[in-house]
Amino acid sequence: MYIEINLLPQSFRPKKRLVSIDARSAVTLVITVAAIGLGYYYYSLHNELSAMTSHLADLKQQEQQIKFVLDLEAEVKTLREAITERIDIIKSITSDSDVRFELLNHINTVMPENLWLQSITEQPQAQGASISFNIEGMSYSKENISAFIAGLERFEKVSTVALESITPAPLEIRDAFKYVVRVDLKSSQPLTEPAAAKRPAGRAARR
């Protein structure tokens, strides 16, 4: 039997390693650690990509909602413009209706006795021009016609009152006079002008 005896002193003897690792084991260990690191890195990237995908989906949904709101706002704006246009048309048609009504009421209050009306005709006018009427009627005396004209001139919205014609109109019982009186009202400014917007509703602009 062969027995190996180391006669070197203890201090000169080579120290034994607690763990003996050869080159192949070291390479295997390095590859394993690298694989674990890469796996963790891929897992982190996957989670981050999922979060970004979810955030992108939320942004697309918000974009669709914003687009819907913008389309709805554009539709509301179009409808508002159409309604405003119709309101302006109605205002332009009826802006002087109250003036006409006031004039008719005033005529009824200043008509003297033995004078009556046959027709009240509004004359064609340009856009924004003053309103003009021809009043035709009959009376038994010229004094009544003069009194009627003077009464018309007292209407605060009248610009001018003119006697266009007066002609005899013999009747079977009494002679009468047929007259035509032109009444011009004061012109009103368009409702879209700032100056007109500050005036009370129903009152025409003064020259």
Q: According to the model, what pLDDT value does residue 32 have? A: 86
- Residue bearing the bigger pLDDT, 94 or 124: 124
Lowest mean pLDDT among 7-21, 115-129, 177-191: 7-21
Locus of tokens 């010229």: 142
Kindly give, in sequence order, each residue whose CB lies less than 8 Å from that of residue 95, ignoring residues fewer than 6 positions away: 188, 191
Cβ proximity of 103 and 133 under 8 Å: yes
Q: What is the pTM of this model?
A: 0.45
**Mean pLDDT score, 106-123:** 89
Range with the largest mean pLDDT of 14-28, 148-162, 163-177, 193-207: 148-162
| pLDDT tops 70 at residue 125 | no
- pLDDT of 78 above 90: no
pLDDT at 204 over 70: no
Provide the pLDDT confidence category of residue 98 given band limits of 50, 70 and 90: confident
Assess whether pLDDT exceeds 50 at residue 191: no
Q: How far apart are CA 81 and CA 64, in angstroms?
A: 26
Please tell me the predicted confidence (pLDDT) of residue 189. Answer: 44
Residue 92: pLDDT over 70: no
Could you give the CA distance from residue 22 to residue 6 in angstroms, rounded to a whole number? Answer: 25
SS3 27: helix
Give the per-residue pLDDT at 7. 60
Three-state secondary structure readout of 160-180:
EEEEEEEEEEECCCCEEEEEE
What mean pLDDT is reported for the chain? 77
Structure letter (DSSP) for residue 157: T
Backbone torsions φ then ψ of 190, nearest 5 degrees: -60, 145
Cα 89 to Cα 94: distance, rounded to the nearest angstrom: 9
Distance CA 36, CA 30 (A): 10
Strands (E), the chain: 115-122, 132-139, 158-170, 175-185
Q: What angle do CA 204, 135, 199 make, to 5 degrees?
A: 5
